[in-house]
Amino acid sequence: MKSVSRRNFMKKTSMSIAGAGMALSPNSAFAQVPGERPQGNAPDVTVLNPKNRVPMSFIIDDSTCLVNLAYYGIPQFAEVFPDRYKQPWRSLPQEIPDSFVRKFGEWCGDKGVKGKYSIVPYPACTGWVDRHIPGWTKRELRESLDLVRTLMTPNWDIHPEMISHTIIIDTKTGRPAEDWVEANMENWGFTPGKSVDQLADYMAYALKILKNAGLQCEGITTPGGFGGGALPELSQATLESVRDVYGAEIPHYFRHLFTDDTSVMPRVEYVSGLDSSDPRSVVSIIGCTGDWFGGWDGLNPGSVDKFITEDLKSGRLPEVIDKGEPAVLVCHWPGIYYNGEEVGFDIFKEVHRRVHSRYDNLLWMKLSEIARYWAARELTAISKDADSVSFKAPYAAPAFTVEIPSGRGVPSVQHGGKSVRLTEVSKALALESGTWFRKADSTIVCFDLPKGRSKLVLM
């Protein structure tokens, strides 16, 4: 399948991901630096996916409180590229109502779906989500934020998608740039040549708005081509800004997606201080699908079959899931709502039905949960002797799952002077934290990995 961009206006990235833990060429599609890694891990201890399942997640872009970003964004894009943006934006709804947010959120909650939901802080310059958005009352904005906090955040990470998602904002004055040109648009020409400090300042401005609105964030989403020409700076600026504003232990970001053979495994980047009390890292979460729901403008209906065919045998999701890599779907909120017709939502419902009809080994996770697991997976030092496996973990990770050569007796986890015996389960699909399963020639153990030193005793 062909690799696609985040939007039809995003510049295509080039080349595929380099091997995990290797320095990358500045001409690659990523260009970030992995940083530190533990050395000499036990070769016969394999860290598996959490609960030995395949993670899934759902990324929702262009969402915010009340505002339909497509309605307000298209004419602003057309100011810069009049030949590209001729959509009938006046026919689009100005609002994506909270009644739909509730309907969508409750359905996903019932099905166990998790992911990322953007809140654009100053959507297309209409108003500030931490203050007032003209066209809606302050009460309506307050209730919309309350809905996000209570219904969405238990299962969804909240990200800013920069500040306006259209024209850049002066972080000293809060005013949009005066000139509507490509270099002043978040989605296009703003980032090339920017330093880490400049990008971190811009991201921090967006994050502080959401913090003022009472929303918790551990990551950011780039709008369109934001970050192009400054990929190493983007990664480092995410690390700096998210830690600075929220104190997040493991910042993460979403920029890249691939629909070809490129690996979509998360990338743990710019790691430092593994032997200190304050390790630092940032995780790039990679999407594996295009927006085949309803598009960023809510004008072009998508196709269930691109995700997974009716016979459940083909499509992008089986390609990724069968490799054991996280299957992170990507959509845009206006296309899920699809002008009140909910075309994108209906497509997602059918995708969910089909994929769960074929697979019984899926685990829905938030992006922050995937980021934490992958950071622990790549950065935990693991050693083994005759009857135990020792872990030195820079981060805690729930449901940490490892496969080891078969031992005798019941495994137990030792940490902080305490020892907890684990419970055997009869099949691998029954694995939960605190359990283990014996295969013919190995044992799979699932437990909550604590930060610091711990030991898995095989007696």
- For position 459, what pLDDT does the model report? 74
Q: For residue 351, give the H/E element and its range.
A: helix 343-358
For the chain, percent of residues with pLDDT exceeding 70: 93
Q: Are 392 and 449 in contact (CB under 8 A)?
A: no
Q: Are 138 and 144 in contact (CB under 8 A)?
A: no
413: pLDDT strictly greater than 70: yes
Over residues 331-339, the mean pLDDT reads 98
Q: Which two tokens stand for residue 445?
A: 């153990």
Q: How confident is the model at residue 386 (pLDDT cuts 50, 70, 90)?
A: confident
Q: How confident is the model at residue 29 (pLDDT cuts 50, 70, 90)?
A: low
Q: For the CA atoms of 296, 301, 306, 307, what is the dihedral angle to 10 degrees?
A: 70
CB atoms near residue 348 (< 10 Å): 26
pTM: 0.94
Lowest mean pLDDT among 15-29, 281-295, 338-352: 15-29
Q: Which two tokens stand for residue 48?
A: 């598996």
38: pLDDT strictly greater than 90: yes
101: pLDDT strictly greater than 50: yes
d(CA 325, CA 372): 15
32: pLDDT strictly greater than 70: yes
Q: How confident is the model at residue 40 (pLDDT cuts 50, 70, 90)?
A: confident
Which of 230, 344, 299, 297 shows the shortest CA–CA distance to 78?
297
CA atoms within a 13 Å half-sphere pointing along the CA-CB vector of 326: 30
Q: How confident is the model at residue 10 (pLDDT cuts 50, 70, 90)?
A: very low
Residue 388 burial (10 A CB sphere; 0-12, 13-18, 19+) = middle
- At 133-191, the pLDDT tens digits run 999 999 999 999 999 999 999 999 999 999 999 999 999 999 999 999 999 999 999 99
- For position 402, what pLDDT does the model report? 97
Domains of the chain plus CATH, in order, are 46-372 (3.20.20.370), 381-458 (no CATH)
- For position 12, what pLDDT does the model report? 33
Q: Where are the alpha helices (DSSP H) in 120-195?
A: 138-147
Higher pLDDT, 200 or 11: 200
Q: Which two tokens stand for residue 188?
A: 């296009």
- At 221-261, the pLDDT tens digits run 999 999 999 999 999 999 999 999 999 999 999 999 999 99
> In the predicted model, what is the mean pLDDT of the chain?
92
- At 286-315, the pLDDT tens digits run 999 999 999 999 999 999 999 999 999 999
Over residues 365-394, the mean pLDDT reads 96
Q: Which two tokens stand for residue 180?
A: 């509507």
- For position 28, what pLDDT does the model report? 54
